[in-house]
Structures are given as structure tokens and as C-alpha cells.
Amino acid sequence: MTQKSPAPRRPWSGPETPDLIHGAHSVTEALKNPKRKLIALKVTTNAAERLHEAAAARGITPEIVHPRILDHLAGPDSVHQGMVLEAKPLRAPRLDQIEKSGIVVILDQVTDPHNVGAILRSCAAFGVKALVTTARHSPEASGVLFKSASGAYEHVPMVKVTNLARALEELRSYGFRLIGLDSEAETAIGAVDRTPPVALVLGAEGKGLRQLTRQTCDVVARLDMPGEIKSLNVSNAAAICLYALTH
């Protein structure tokens, strides 16, 4: 009896609130992204000069404001570098709409926006096709995430799913090999079949992969590290794994 492929999941739909993007790299990449629908750009005098060409190319006129206004918009502890861009959120693709080649990265309840932003940056560097996260227990799109991603949010589609196990099964039906990461796994990631398409599954800080996620993966592997410390911050582990899977 032939097993039916699971039906494509509908994308998670969160509240339609504008994205507030700050920081030079993040704002510049958002301005360059033709898929971004821009609302307003508030800048200091010095930042206006830096963004002149990019803003002019998109037909948006920056509003010169006092730095304190940007502090209020971006948050008192943010490093906004004199610029805050308000834009409509990017439309998230469904799982069946992402490229079925190369590498997809999946996060199992990774909640720190700094880590998710850093992972997005690594994903952009290694040409990852999409980053998949859970709708719950994952950070919202925020200035912290955008700043940590340093512009990568504009280049890597971010897909949120309501049920990670079903999403993994759906990716498997498209031909993806599911590779979970665990510091105590028997198999080293260098010994794993890296033939694309591949889905790299990373667990949360401390907890790691949930049991059902682990069971759904085709193989669970570890980073083979010679030192006394055998586990890394999830964003560092992601970068090393992506290098291992692409070289």
C-alpha cells in the first residue's frame, strides 16, 4: 500500500504589525529588498547622508528626527545607529513553496532573538533555503532579531509552523533528509550522508531536541570536538554544522 504524502501545511499567520528595523546593515538590506513595502524611515542627520542613495532608489524620503525619538522607537538599550525603518512584514512562504534543494534549517523552540538572528546570518552566508521555527516558543520579528541578523532576515525566508513533527514529515515527503544535532549522539556529523536536500534540526538552549523531534529525525549527529567542552551555543553550533554540511 502506497503511503500518501502529508498535505502541505498552511503558514502560521501572526498579527499584522509593522516591522521596526534598526541598525545600518539591517536597514540598508531592507531598503534594497524589493519585496519590502516601506512605511516610514526616521533618521538622524548623519544617518540620512549614509542612506541617501538607498532611500532615493526606493523612493522614500527620510524624516530627520532627534536621536531620542529613535531611542524611544527602537528601545533604550538598542544600537540603532541613527536609523529606524518601519515596514510591512515580509510574507512567509509555506513549506511546499520553499526550494526543495540544498539545506533548510529547523529550530525546535529556540527562543532567544539574538541566537535566532545570528542563525539567520549564518543561513544567509551558507545559502540556506529557509529557516523553519515553531509558531509558539520562538521569538517574534523584532528590532533585536533584525539587528542580530544584520540584514540576513531579508534574504532567508522564515517559515513558522504550528506542529513541528508534522512539518518534519512534510519535508521528508519532499525528499529532505532530517539531521538532528545532539552533543551526545553516537554519529559525528562528518559521517552523515550530506546529499541534498538536507534539513538541519537544532534544539533549544539547555533542553536540546524534544523527544518527538528526535524520533522524527532520520539521524541524530554530534559535532566532533576535541576539547573539554562538548556543547556550544546554538548559533555557533549552527554555523559549524552548516560549514560541515557544505564542505
Q: What is the pLDDT of residues 59-115, one digit of tens each?
A: 999 999 999 999 999 887 788 999 999 999 999 899 999 999 999 999 999 999 999
* Residue 176 pLDDT greater than 90, yes or no: yes
Question: Average pLDDT, stretch 22-51?
Answer: 95
Average pLDDT (161-168) is 96
- DSSP-assigned letter for residue 204: B
Over the range 134-159, which residues count as b (16 or more CB within 10 Å of their CB) and which as e?
Answer: beeebbebbbbbbbbbbbbbbbbbbb
Using pLDDT thresholds of 50, 70 and 90, give the confidence band for residue 127.
Answer: very high
- How buried is residue 181: exposed, middle or buried, by Cβ count under 10 Å (0-12/13-18/19+)? buried
Query: Residue 99: its pLDDT value, please?
Result: 94
The pLDDT value given to residue 9 = 38
In angstroms, the CA 241 to CA 180 distance is 11
Number of residues assigned to the chain: 247
pLDDT of residue 4: 44
Kindly report the number of other CB atoms within 10 A of residue 240's CB atom: 15
Q: Which strands form 219-222's sheet, in the order they lie side by side? A: 158-161, 130-134, 103-108, 198-203, 177-181, 219-222, 187-188
| The pLDDT of residue 132 is above 60 | yes
- State the pLDDT confidence band at 225, using cuts at 50, 70 and 90: confident
User: Could you tell me the domains of the chain?
Assistant: 19-87 (3.30.1330.30), 95-246 (3.40.1280.10)
3-state secondary structure of 213: helix
The pLDDT value given to residue 1 = 40
Cβ–Cβ < 8 Å for 28, 62: no
